[in-house]
Amino acid sequence: MARPVAYAVDRSAGGRTIGSRTAPYTGALILVFVITHLIKFRFVDKMTINDFTILSNTFADFNFWTVFYVVGVTIVAVHVSHGFWSLFQTLGLSHPKYMPVVERLAVVFSLIIGIGFASIPVFLFLSL
């Protein structure tokens, strides 16, 4: 063996962020989140129950569903933060001068998405 000690490697090199490192996992969790959301809100008998009743029954008490939706939207925000800036790379629009700005915009955009959608179940919990 030429070198008994392994080389020091920066695993975050190459633009790896928490969004890019967790993209496969957050993608799978988003699939579960979307399927659960559709089952909970779209595939119900709307002849016997209206949309407001479904929402109020879901978020009236601070229960599993409020936490589920806040965590689910947080996962979506992390996933979107990676997707936003990787879109620019995929389209060939990456440039060393502009990518730091795009990466910051990705974080801001994902925060807006995350806070905006997470505020819905929190608002319903607080107001019902």
* pTM for the whole structure: 0.74
Query: pLDDT, tens digit, for every residue of 7-19?
Result: 776 665 566 778 8
- Other Cβ atoms within 10 Å of 41 Cβ, number: 12
- Domain edges within the chain: 21-127
SS3 70: helix
Nearest alpha carbon to residue 77 among 17, 19, 16, 121 = 19
Query: pLDDT, tens digit, for every residue of 102-125?
Result: 989 999 999 999 999 999 888 888
Separation CA 37–CA 18 (nearest Å): 25
Nearest alpha carbon to residue 77 among 36, 33, 42 = 33
Separation CA 77–CA 110 (nearest Å): 5
